[in-house]
A and B are shown apart, each in its own frame.
Chain A
Amino acid sequence: MSASGPYRDIVLDHHRAPRRRGRLAPPVQAAEGVNAMCGDQLHIEVRVEQGRVVAYAFEGTCCAIATATASLLGDCALGCDADDLAVLERRFAALVAGEIVEAPELGALNALSELARYPARRKCALLPFATLAAALRGEPHATTEVPA
């Protein structure tokens, strides 16, 4: 049985069976993403060699949208440097805001494009990006919630 809206089959699949879930052997750069209003807690860690992400892992208790995004983000992040990821984050933010219809460089993350119709849920999908960016900047915490 398939759902619709932002819950395409690939999103549900990555929610139920997340890829790269767990921890990496050190040395790693890590950050915690917390959206306290939702209760989402995400830990993302990466190994960076010569400025590029060579390994990615995450753990956490999140909604399906955040979990699937964190899982799908792993594929995108490998091989990227911080500048590449900043571009991807901006493109993804534009995608879920409905400013662009598709971004080929985001690959399977395009499945989240329906979030354009669910503004209240965008912060869920943006949390993994913000957490990864924080890890690369050496900052311990990230959130995509603005105080209500």
Chain B
Amino acid sequence: MSAPLREPLPAFDPLRVRADFPLLTRTVHGKPLVYFDSANTSQKPALVIEAVDRFYRQHNANVARAVHALSEEATAAYEGARVALARFIGAGTPDELVLTSGTTMAINLVAYSYLQPQLKPGDTVLVTQMEHHANIVPWQLVCARNGATLKVAPISERGELIVERFVELLTPEVKLAGVTHVSNVLGTVNPVRELARECRRRGIPLLVDGSQAVPHMAVDVQTIGCDFYAFTGHKMCGPTGTGGLWARRERLSAMPPFFGGGEMIREVRFSGTTFADPPHRFEAGTPNIAGFVGLGAAVQYLERLGMANVFARERELLAYASDALRSMPGLRIIGEAPDKAAVISFLVAGAHAHDLATLLDLEGIAVRSGHHCAHPLMQFYGVPATCRASFAFYNTTDEIDRFVAALDKVRRLLV
């Protein structure tokens, strides 16, 4: 046998990967940190932190404004991040990716630039019962201004979208549908490709909220076939205040600006202003340049790990934790969809979610408790709050063991 011509790709080694994240070595309340709140925000690998640091130390300047060397470097770094992100989500060209402060900004951009100019009294926007507030409230605000209404596609008790009901609700007065790719509370992975196909057949644009998908699985927006895809950088190992909106060039070209200011213009006269082409038309003001440099590094990091590896590793962790939790007395898991991301929302009979989370924190374990920015979903399940343990590829089964043991301990204190 001949020797391989190229170095093999490095195998996914959970413990080596963990060493990439400096924060994971710290202690909390004197105990080693167990960070199970990655659905809230992910931790950052050293190379992302260093990329941001290096940008400010060596390249800092504003983008697309000056002709000096630093500005050229900053512009190249910022636009380089756009290219990397566009490739990462399967965009046809980088011009189809608007860089935003995150998903919330991306959805608001669609709400005010795309939807509001055409929404009329009697029109509706369709969302699902499992949406994050970011995919509810912008539509509500625009509907209220324009005399339109919001309608809601139901979910099953297991936390799955009832697809046939969603399709039935795609009636002619629906001017846009908004669906999360992966639920931040339930972990449910929605069949967005199928939903996009049904929307397309009826000529209804579909926005997919990819906040909880892009960090955890390979996403290809063109294969999904949706009209808008919004995502955030800080959940995918990037800095806070970064994210994006993908839409096809024709769609973006037809949209008027949302924010006005520098950066987004072609020529400004008091008699009238002409605007830059997308995506810059939607990027008024100085962007989060260093943040996107960091996000570009995060994309390179995730590509090196391989999203298939990330996906497989997180599914292993989910299965391991779910099995361990199911045997705990009084514990109820909210969200049991067969296709589920590494998020476990749970309740313990007789114990308040905040008490569980505070007591777990005393054990060094960070989980989220509360409504998870999904009040309507909490109302569906008739609970004010849940605890949520969310995993990332840098977590370990040892951490899950510690979490389960600690949860059993604090449960006994409370119940």
Contact = CB atoms under 8 A, between A and B. Distances in A.
Q: What bracket does the count of chain A residues touching chain B fall in?
A: 20 to 34
A39 to B, nearest CB: 2
Nearest to A7: B359
Given A63-B352, A64-B414, A3 B370 contact: no
Given A37-B371, A39-B383, A65 B355 contact: yes
A1, A12, A64 — which one has the most chain B CB atoms within 10 A of its CB?
A: A64
A interface: dominant SS: loop
Contacts of B355: 7, 63-65
B414 A4 contact: no
A1 B413 contact: yes
A121 B358 contact: yes
Contacts of B332: none
Nearest to B350: A16
A7 B384 contact: no
B385 interface: yes
B94 to A, nearest CB: 36
A78 B412 CA distance: 32
B384 A39 contact: yes
A1 B409 contact: yes
A38 B410 contact: no
B412 A1 contact: yes
A64 B358 CA distance: 11
A7 B358 contact: yes
Interface residues of B, number: 19
Contact of A3 (B352, B362, B384, B385): B362
A65 B352 CA distance: 10
Interface in A60-102: 62-65
A6 interface: yes
Nearest to A115: B358
Contacts of A12: 413-414
A16 B414 CA distance: 7
Interface of A: 1, 3-7, 12, 15-16, 36-40, 62-65, 118, 120-121, 124
Given A4-B29, A36-B384, 19 more contacts: A1-B412, A1-B413, A5-B29, A7-B358, A7-B359, A7-B362, A12-B414, A37-B371, A37-B384, A37-B385, A38-B352, A38-B370, A39-B385, A63-B352, A63-B355, A64-B351, A64-B414, A65-B355, A121-B354
Interface of B: 29, 351-352, 354-355, 358-359, 361-362, 370-371, 383-385, 409-410, 412-414
